[in-house]
């Protein structure tokens, strides 16, 4: 099946989250939400300009899908979808809370207001993703910043950005047992703050040999980035408005969780 086609089981999760339309809307008849969502997924997978969205596929115009994406992002649809799917994975024991991993890869060009001089080429502005995932590579939270933002400033924001994940008896969980990071995250204040949150920091120190073991365990965050950037729209930050790029990121994280959930059901 084509990756931008929304199946009935996924649509059953998404449809209740969509904000309702007024009973009487002036103008021509609205394109159905499901068709617009498939148009958004088409852009996410293929990284084409909105105005080049094929009308013959029934998605409506690029402007129609763009405005629907904006509306749904304001309503928090994709963040709630991501949280629901994390809870489903947690319920079947597919989230690894024993450790979490953080990383921020090389910056990408273009971007919106959240851009800065690229460490790779300071003549160009760029942005980059900072990601925290569980011990199995499932993305918890992705933050987009300017390319010149130091990685050491991100771990606490990523940890605090993990949504409350239900699915098990008791209170929803938000904290892993340990946080793995490379030398880019070396900071004693961060270690103290992580311990206050009852999280064991496993972060290599600059100028010292790497901590044995975490290098082999941290491959999952690289895998998570590979899965995230398979969505071509995220490989380069084209959106001038960061909230629209964040909408694509949340939708991509939800789709990664959905694929893993489907594997557990087969």
pLDDT for 250 = 95
Instruction: Indicate the helix (H) or strand (E) that contains 117.
Output: strand 116-117
CATH number, domain 97-240: 3.30.420.10
Integer distance in angstroms from the first to the last C-alpha of the chain?
Answer: 16
**Contact predicate 156/190, CB 8 Å:** yes
Q: Determine the number of helices (DSSP H) and then strands (DSSP E) in the chain.
A: 10, 7
Enumerate the domain spans of the chain.
8-74, 97-240
Measured CA to CA, the distance from residue 32 to residue 10 in angstroms comes to 16
**Contact predicate 127/108, CB 8 Å:** yes
pLDDT for 111 = 47
pLDDT bin (cut points 50, 70, 90) of residue 216 is low
Summarize pLDDT for 108-146 with one digit per residue, the tens.
554 445 554 544 445 556 678 889 999 899 999 998 887
Query: Where does the chain have alpha helices with state H?
Result: 8-14, 33-46, 62-74, 77-91, 155-160, 188-196, 214-217, 219-228, 232-235, 242-265
pTM of the model: 0.87
3-state secondary structure of 47: coil
């Amino acid at each position: 099946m084509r990756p931008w086609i929304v199946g009935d089981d996924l649509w059953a999760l998404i449809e209740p989250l969509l904000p309702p339309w007024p009973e009487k809307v002036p103008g021509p008849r609205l394109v159905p939400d499901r068709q617009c969502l498939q148009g958004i997924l088409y852009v996410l997978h293929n990284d084409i300009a909105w105005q080049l969205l094929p009308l013959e596929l029934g998605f409506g115009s690029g402007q129609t899908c763009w405005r629907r994406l904006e509306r749904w992002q304001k309503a928090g649809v994709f963040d709630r979808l991501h949280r629901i799917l994390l809870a489903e994975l947690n319920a079947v024991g597919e989230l690894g809370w024993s450790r979490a991993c953080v990383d921020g890869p090389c910056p990408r060009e273009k971007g919106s207001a959240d851009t800065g001089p690229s460490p790779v080429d300071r003549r160009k502005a760029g942005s980059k993703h900072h990601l925290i995932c569980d011990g199995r590579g499932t993305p918890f939270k992705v933050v987009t910043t300017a390319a010149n933002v130091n990685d050491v400033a991100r771990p606490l924001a990523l940890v605090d950005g993990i949504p409350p994940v239900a699915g098990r008896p008791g209170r929803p969980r938000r904290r892993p047992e340990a946080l793995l990071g490379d030398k880019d995250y070396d900071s004693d204040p961060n270690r103290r703050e992580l311990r206050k949150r009852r999280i064991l920091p496993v972060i290599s120190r600059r100028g010292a040999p790497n901590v044995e073991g975490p290098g082999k365990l941290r491959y999952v965050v690289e895998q998570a980035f590979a899965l995230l950037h398979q969505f071509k729209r995220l490989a380069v930050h084209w959106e001038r408005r960061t909230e629209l790029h964040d909408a694509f990121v949340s939708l991509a994280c939800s789709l990664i969780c959905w694929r893993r959930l489907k594997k557990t059901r087969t």
